[in-house]
Amino acid sequence: MDKPPPLEPLPEDWTRALAVVAHPDDMEFGSAAAVARWTGQGKEVVYCMVTSGEAGIDSMEPEKTRTVREAEEIESARIVGVSQVEFLHQPDGVLEYGVPLRREICAVVRKHRPEIVITGNFHPTFGGRMLNQADHIATGRAVLDAVRDAGNRWVFNDQLVDGLEPWGGVKAVWVGGSWEAQHGVDTTDTFDKGVASLAAHAAYIEGLGWENWDPREFLEGFGRQTGQRMGVAFATAFEVFPMGWED
């Protein structure tokens, strides 16, 4: 089998990032250790959850699950140095890609004015025939569009009140969990924080009912494979979509 190509290190000359993902736990299944590295460098990262993952625990009513999972996400964000977590309260499991979702995400981009926006894999699969989930696909596609929308004064113009301005300063969207990734982040020093951040989703993990499933083992598998592509112990990969025209 061919060796996978080396990953190019992601730039770290930025100060503000916004991560927009479909569910509590989406950042923790791979990207959280990279977030811990960046917050450790003094960068600011804000999380935005499109849903509260309220349909994610089979044995628990959504009303209760919402509360439990929001609390777990806030704790898992805290572990990697993220103090702001927004919840858009869109319906878990049945998100629709379209203008209403773009509008919601656009408002968050305008509010936080990030240079980098992070989201999750929106390709139909995670590689091979391992199917992606509908909310991830809807969210990632809407994020790419919403980042452009945010810079256009005449799109969702009604949002521009109370000091909210257009924001065209996003340099790139970085997509975690994509098998097309060609960039990576060395997470060797913050790997343990990533594990703790995933383990904070205790009720969710228990609800999955995967026997003997261990967050560390799971993250080590992917982390090592990706690390080999950067010549380090552990790494996380991202697919990069530049937002400017020049590169």
Minimum Å distance from CB 109 to Zn ion?
20
Q: Which is nearer to Zn ion, 164 or 208 (CB)?
A: 208
| d(C-alpha 224, C-alpha 234), whole Å | 5
Q: Which is nearer to Zn ion, 6 or 127 (CB)?
A: 127
| d(C-alpha 119, C-alpha 21), whole Å | 5
Minimum Å distance from CB 136 to Zn ion?
6
The residue whose Cβ lies closest to Zn ion is 23
Minimum Å distance from CB 5 to Zn ion?
27
Q: Which is nearer to Zn ion, 23 or 69 (CB)?
A: 23
Q: Which is nearer to Zn ion, 26 or 73 (CB)?
A: 26
Matching residue, tokens 């250790």: 33
| d(C-alpha 112, C-alpha 185), whole Å | 23
Q: Which is nearer to Zn ion, 26 or 186 (CB)?
A: 26
Minimum Å distance from CB 122 to Zn ion?
11
In the complex, the residues that contact Zn ion under the rule CB under 5 A are 23, 26
| Tokens (6 digits) for 141 | 């596609």
User: Cα angle vertex 126, ends 11, 144, to 5°?
Assistant: 50
In the β-sheet with 116-120, what is the strand arrangement from edge to edge? Answer: 8-9, 183-186, 235-242, 172-176, 116-120, 16-21, 44-49, 85-87
Minimum Å distance from CB 69 to Zn ion?
11
| Tokens (6 digits) for 60 | 């628990």
